[in-house]
C-alpha cells in the first residue's frame, strides 16, 4: 500500500475493507495459529518447483513430530494483492514466500517478525551475502532464501571472435559501455538486418527493474535518490541509442537468441538450459557492461519470512525449523536443480554442477559471493519505485527523451515519499522509515 493509487485501486481496497469489516471484530489481532500447525503460503511458479516444494514439505512432516506444515500455493500474478488482502483481513499464514525486494514494504506494514534470534548461527553463516543483504532491513533480518539469481549477457563465442570482439572473463574486465557500443556496431556490420542484441523486450513488469536498474547503478545513480542524475540519464541514453540504431531484436517470439537471429542476449540464469541446448559449447556467459562505476548486476529472488500471525515462541520456533530444513544443502540443491537458480548457501554452491568453480554459470555465483551485485532499492517505497521505473523504461523504449522519462519517474517517487511522510515510524519518532498509514474500516 505504498504505491500511488489509481482510482481502481482505491475502489478495490474500499470494497475489500468493507468486506473485512463485515467479517472481523474491531480490535482483534490475527487468529492464533493452531498448535503444531504451520500454515505456509508459496507462489505457484513452475510445475517442477511446486513438485519439489511439495516433496520437501512431505519430508519435513515425516521427519518432525509435533509440527505439521500445511502448504498453500497462490497464483504468482496476483500474489502480492492476495497478501495485502490477507493482511487487511488479518488472515496471513505463519510462513510467507514473497519476492525479495518486497520484504521492506511488508516489514513497514508490520506483517513480518525479525528472525535474528530464531535462526541458528551456522545456517545464517552459510547463506550467501546477497541473501543476508536482501533480507536485512534497519539492522534486523526478516527473510531468508534457498536460491538467488544471476543476470548477465549470453553470447555466441564464435560470432564474437569472428567480429574481433574481446571476450571478458569476469566483472573486473567487463566491457566499458564504449566497448559494448563498438561491439554492437561490429556485429551489426556482419548481420543482414543489423539486429544483434536481445533485451528480452517481450517480458513485462518486474523484468524492467531487475534487468535494467543495474545500468543506473553502474553509472553511479540510485533508484531512490538520483534516478535522474546526469550520469543516469547518459547511461539510459545508451540503451535508447541501441534501440534507435536498430541493434535490438524485439523478440516477440522469445526466440531471438535460440534461433540464431542475435549473438547476444541480456537476461538471467533461468534461460541457461534452453540456451545451452540451442548453442552448445559455443555459449559464453559474460558480465554486463561497465557504465562508469564498475559492472553491476542484479540479485534477489523469492524469499521466506515469518509473519506476525505466528506470534507465539512455539509457532516461531516451528516456523524457523521448517525454513532451516529448506536451507539444508541437499534441499537447496533439490530446488536449484529444477529452477536453475543460484543455490542460496555456500555449501550448496560448492556441490552444484552449474555454479561450483568449474561450472558453466560460475560467473553468477562469483558475483554474488564477491558482493558485485546490487539489491533492488531497500525501502518500503519499492513498489512505487519499481512501477515508476517500469514506466520510465517503457517511455525510453518508445522514444521519449531519457531525461523527461527519468524526471517523471523521480517525481512520482518523491510524491509518494511525501505522501507517506518519508515512511516514518508513526508513534515511535521519525526515524526515516516505518509504519504505514492504514485504511480504517
Answer for the pair 128, 148: CB distance below 8 angstroms, yes or no.
yes
pLDDT band at 425 (very low <50, low <70, confident <90, very high): low
353 has a pLDDT exceeding 80: yes
Q: Which whole number is the average pLDDT over 284-290?
A: 98
d(C-alpha 242, C-alpha 263), whole Å: 15
Residue 138 in grid coordinates: 534497519
Mean confidence (pLDDT) of the chain: 88
Answer for the pair 28, 88: CB distance below 8 angstroms, yes or no.
no
Answer for the pair 56, 334: CB distance below 8 angstroms, yes or no.
yes
Answer for the pair 160, 167: CB distance below 8 angstroms, yes or no.
yes
Among 199-213, 373-387, 424-438, which stretch is predicted with the lowest mean pLDDT?
A: 424-438
Burial of residue 22 (CB within 10 Å: 0-12, 13-18, 19+) is exposed
2 has a pLDDT exceeding 90: no
Task: Report the percentage of the chain scoring pLDDT > 90.
Answer: 80
d(C-alpha 264, C-alpha 144), whole Å: 33
End-to-end CA distance of the chain: 15
188-234 pLDDT, tens digit each: 999 999 999 999 999 988 999 999 999 999 998 765 557 899 999 99
Sheet holding 197-198, edge to edge: 248-249, 197-198, 264-268, 151-156, 283-286
Q: Which residue has the cell 515510524?
A: 425
Q: Which helix (H) or strand (E) holds 306?
A: strand 302-306
20-40 pLDDT, tens digit each: 333 333 233 444 556 789 999
Bigger pLDDT: 80 vs 357 = 357
Question: 17 by DSSP, 3-state: which?
Answer: helix
User: What pLDDT does 17 receive?
Assistant: 39
Contacts for 24 with CB less than 8 Å, ≥ 6 apart: 89, 90, 441
Q: Which whole number is the average pLDDT over 170-182?
A: 97
Domains and CATH numbers, the chain: 7-149+300-369 (3.40.190.10), 152-297+384-417 (3.40.190.10)
CA angle 368, 366, 257 (to 5 degrees): 95
Answer for the pair 137, 107: CB distance below 8 angstroms, yes or no.
yes
Task: Report the percentage of the chain scoring pLDDT > 70.
Answer: 87
HEC string for 248-280: EECCCCCCCCCCCCCCEEEEEHHHHHHHHHHHH
User: What pLDDT does 223 receive?
Assistant: 58
Amino acid at each position: 500500500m505504498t504505491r500511488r493509487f489509481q482510482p481502481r485501486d482505491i475502489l478495490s481496497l474500499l470494497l475489500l475493507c468493507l468486506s473485512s469489516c463485515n467479517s472481523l471484530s474491531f480490535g482483534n489481532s490475527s487468529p492464533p495459529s493452531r498448535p503444531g500447525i504451520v500454515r505456509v503460503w508459496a507462489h505457484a511458479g513452475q510445475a517442477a518447483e511446486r513438485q519439489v516444494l511439495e516433496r520437501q514439505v512431505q519430508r519435513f512432516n515425516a521427519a518432525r513430530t509435533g509440527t505439521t506444515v500445511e502448504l498453500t500455493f497462490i497464483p504468482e500474478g496476483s500474489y502480492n494483492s492476495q497478501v495485502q488482502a490477507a493482511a487487511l483481513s488479518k488472515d496471513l499464514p505463519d510462513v510467507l514466500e514473497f519476492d525479495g525486494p518486497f520484504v521492506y514494504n511488508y516489514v513497514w506494514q508490520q506483517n513480518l517478525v525479525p528472525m535474528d534470534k530464531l535462526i541458528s548461527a551456522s545456517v545464517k553463516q552459510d547463506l550467501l551475502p546477497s541473501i543476508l543483504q536482501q533480507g536485512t532491513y534497519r539492522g534486523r533480518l526478516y527473510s531468508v532464501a534457498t536460491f538467488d539469481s544471476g543476470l548477465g549477457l549470453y553470447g555466441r563465442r564464435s560470432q564474437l571472435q569472428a567480429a574481433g570482439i574481446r571476450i571478458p572473463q569476469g566483472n573486473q574486465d567487463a566491457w566499458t559501455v564504449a566497448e559494448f557500443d563498438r561491439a554492437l556496431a561490429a556485429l551489426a556490420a556482419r548481420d543482414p538486418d543489423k539486429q544483434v542484441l536481445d533485451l528480452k523486450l517481450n517480458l513485462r513488469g518486474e523484468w524492467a527493474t531487475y534487468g535494467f536498474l543495474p545500468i543506473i547503478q553502474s553509472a553511479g545513480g540510485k533508484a531512490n535518490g538520483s534516478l535522474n542524475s546526469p550520469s543516469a540519464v547518459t547511461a539510459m541514453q545508451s540503451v535508447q541509442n541501441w534501440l534507435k540504431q536498430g541493434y535490438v531484436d524485439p523478440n516477440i517470439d522469445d526466440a531471438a537468441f535460440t534461433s540464431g537471429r542475435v549473438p547476444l542476449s541480456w537476461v538471467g540464469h533461468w534461460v541457461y538450459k534452453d540456451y545451452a541446448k540451442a548453442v552448445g559449447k559455443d555459449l559464453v556467459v559474460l558480465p554486463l557492461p561497465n557504465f562508469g562505476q564498475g559492472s553491476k548486476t542484479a540479485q534477489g529472488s523469492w524469499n521466506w519470512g515469518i509473519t506476525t500471525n505466528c506470534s507465539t515462541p512455539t509457532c516461531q520456533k516451528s516456523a524457523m525449523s521448517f525454513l532451516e530444513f529448506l536451507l539444508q544443502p541437499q534441499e537447496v540443491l533439490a530446488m536449484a536443480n529444477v529452477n536453475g537458480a543460484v543455490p542460496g548457501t555456500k555449501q550448496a554452491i560448492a556441490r552444484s554442477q552449474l555454479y561450483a568453480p568449474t561450472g558453466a554459470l560460475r560467473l553468477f555465483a562469483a558475483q554474488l559471493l564477491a558482493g558485485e551485485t546490487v539489491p533492488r532499492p531497500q525501502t518500503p517505497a519499492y513498489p512505487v519505485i519499481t512501477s515508476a521505473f517500469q514506466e520510465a523504461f517503457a517511455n525510453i523504449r518508445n522514444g521519449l527523451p531519457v531525461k523527461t522519462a527519468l524526471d517523471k519517474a523521480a517525481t512520482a517517487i518523491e510524491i509518494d515519499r511525501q505522501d507517506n511522510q518519508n515512511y516514518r515510524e508513526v508513534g515511535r519518532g521519525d526515524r526515516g522509515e516505518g509504519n504505514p498509514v492504514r485504511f480504517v474500516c
